[in-house]
Amino acid sequence: MSAWHERRAHEIAGAVRTGAVSAVEVTRAFLERIDAVDGEVNAYTEVWRAEAEARAAAIDAKRDRGEALGALAGVPVALKALLCTTEGTTDCSSRMLKGFRSPYDATVVRRLRDADAVLPGKVNMDEFAMGSSTENSAIKKTRNPWNLDCVPGGSSGGSAASVAADECAFALGSDTGGSIRQPAALCGCVGVKPTYGRVSRYGLVAFASSLDQIGPLTKDVEDAALALNIICGRDPMDATSAAVPVPDFTASLTGEVKGLRIGLPKEYFTSQLGSEMREKVERAIAVLEEQGAETVEVSLPHTDHGVAVYYIISPAEASANLARFDGVRYGFRHPDAETVDDLYVLTKSDGFGTEVQRRIMLGTYVLSSGYYDAYYLKAQKVRALIRQDFDRAFAQCDVLVTPTSPTPAFRFGEKTDDPLEMYLSDIYTISANLAAIPGISVPCGLTSAGLPAGLQIMARHFDEATMLRVAHCYEQHRGFDPGKPPIARGAA
């Protein structure tokens, strides 16, 4: 029998509910695991040891009283550092919010607590979720458990690394242009960006409000379905959360894809895709065909314009959202300010890191008088065209299957000198955010260098059920066990 920290969330919840193991025992196993490996992985920015144990003890007491336990009974869930929690701090891996204690819990955090999850702490990210490697964190450098010289991806790099290294049962991240799916692919875990509006953004520190979604990073598709059951649904605190019924996603995992039509967008299989990654994805498609799915080539003609649209719209929204960090109501205040104007300038210039300042500059520029039509309005029009591309494609197929990332994990510093090159690592994930559709990344093999590759599946608005069904069927029949990263094997 494997150790508790290696188990899936659904196994842990089942065992805690029946009393086969106590929540305290599970929590201690994970805390010991964090002690053993996080010195190398550096996924956590803070660990809530006493709080997690107390919470686990309260869950055990509840069970002892004969009360029914929630769907995540005793399951330790790591939280990306931009999810507001009354426990600990919510620093967005930024100097700007160092030590910030939120007066309220994000809706997803409240839902996790209500489902009897245990919260072991906060995990690292690119500052304010801006980045694709977690190298933009102002706190620490998170390393990829598969190769400590490589980045974990980003911006939810701490979430992905903590799952891959068995330092939590699953984690929550946020995805604005691929920030859940890309690190999930690079760290060999499952990552879901739900449909825009599926999950309440209340208590998620905003980056780009028309693109941001919270989602789970898990060890398998069943856990992703379980997590989505808890976090999805309308919330009066977020007017953009959709009043669309949430099905039981675990019930959609039938193992059947017979008759489903899988679209292969030809624009995703160009020379930008490395041959090794292509081969992994093609093999995955063959597995789905063997299971009875039909494949059809489709076209998303504006794919090539996605990155340009994204890097206009997201910085524009970010420059407006981040204006609130002015040193008045929360977070950092520069000590030398003598006038209120100084207060804004010194606080922002010292509180925000290089990438965040770059995006504020870009966003301010594209929204400024004289450039608004040429950049921002133009981008919104092309965004409409990208969405139409997907509407047309989904008239021909039920899901789209693509690679998640053009390359596996890259080395530290490899892309930090050229922001544009870093931005292009999101080419396969950005469009789902622009079109507001759901996407999932599932591990589809290891490269010759021993690094994970990810398969992306995208579906129609609010059709996570079909997306999960295909992902689960692939996972059950892919014919290999992705195994554990060296850090997990070495320290076990």
Partner 1 sequence: MSRITEKDVDYVAGLARLRLDEEARARLVREMDAILGYMDKLNELNTEGVEPMMHALEMTNVFRDDVVGESMPRDLALETAPQHDGAYFIVPPIMDPEES
Transcribe 181-236 into DSSP letters. HHHHHHHT-EEEEPPTTSB--TTBPPS-TTT-EEEEEESSHHHHHHHHHHHBS--T
Q: Which is nearer to partner 1, 120 or 331 (CB)?
A: 331
The footprint of partner 1 on residues 66-125 (CB under 8 A) is: 100-104
Tell me the residue type at 376: Y
Residue 118's beta-bridge partner residues?
A: 76
Residue from 248, 349, 396, 486 in contact with partner 1 (CB under 8 A): 349
Q: C-beta of 270: minimal distance to partner 1 in Å?
A: 15
Residue 294's beta-bridge partner residues?
A: 261
Q: Which is nearer to partner 1, 236 or 259 (CB)?
A: 236
Q: Which of 468, 474, 439 is closest to 285 using CA atoms?
A: 474
Torsion of CA 245, 171, 112, 74, to 10 degrees: 130
d(CA 278, CA 255): 25
Q: Which of 22, 80, 102, 137 is catalytic?
A: 80
Q: Which is nearer to partner 1, 1 or 420 (CB)?
A: 420
Contact letters for partner 1, residues 203-242 (x by CB under 8 A): -------xx------------------------x--xx-x
Q: Which of 133, 213, 18, 205 is closest to 415 using CA atoms?
A: 133
User: Does residue 216 contact residue 191 with C-beta atoms inside 8 Å?
Assistant: yes
The footprint of partner 1 on residues 432-451 (CB under 8 A) is: 436
320 binds partner 1 (CB under 8 A): no
Q: Which is nearer to partner 1, 353 or 482 (CB)?
A: 353
Residue from 286, 328, 395, 449 in contact with partner 1 (CB under 8 A): 328
Q: Is 80 among the catalytic positions?
A: yes
Q: Which is nearer to partner 1, 157 or 327 (CB)?
A: 327
Q: C-beta of 353: minimal distance to partner 1 in Å?
A: 11
DSSP 447: -
Q: C-beta of 327: minimal distance to partner 1 in Å?
A: 6
Q: Which is nearer to partner 1, 194 or 485 (CB)?
A: 194
Q: Which is nearer to partner 1, 319 or 456 (CB)?
A: 319
Q: Which of 102, 155, 174, 314 is catalytic?
A: 155
263 binds partner 1 (CB under 8 A): no
Cα atoms found within 13 Å of the Cα of residue 439, Cβ hemisphere only: 34
Q: Which is nearer to partner 1, 261 or 305 (CB)?
A: 305
296 binds partner 1 (CB under 8 A): no
345 binds partner 1 (CB under 8 A): yes
d(CA 170, CA 219): 7
The footprint of partner 1 on residues 355-394 (CB under 8 A) is: 357-358, 360-362, 364-365, 368, 375, 377-385, 387
Tell me the residue type at 103: P
Residue from 14, 247, 406, 419 in contact with partner 1 (CB under 8 A): 419
CA distances from 74 to 8, 20, 27, 123, 221 (A): 12, 12, 7, 19, 19
Q: Which of 94, 133, 179, 200 is catalytic?
A: 179
d(CA 428, CA 169): 27
SS3 455: strand
Neighbour count for residue 295 (Cβ, 10 Å): 16
Q: C-beta of 461: minimal distance to partner 1 in Å?
A: 7
Residue from 66, 271, 338, 481 in contact with partner 1 (CB under 8 A): 338
Q: Token pair for residue 203?
A: 């208590």
d(CA 34, CA 42): 9
Please identify every residue annotated as catalytic.
80, 155, 179
Interface residue list for partner 1 (CB under 8 A):
100-104, 196-197, 210-211, 236, 239-240, 242, 302, 304-305, 307-309, 311-312, 319, 326-333, 337-346, 348-349, 352, 354, 357-358, 360-362, 364-365, 368, 375, 377-385, 387, 419-420, 423, 436, 461
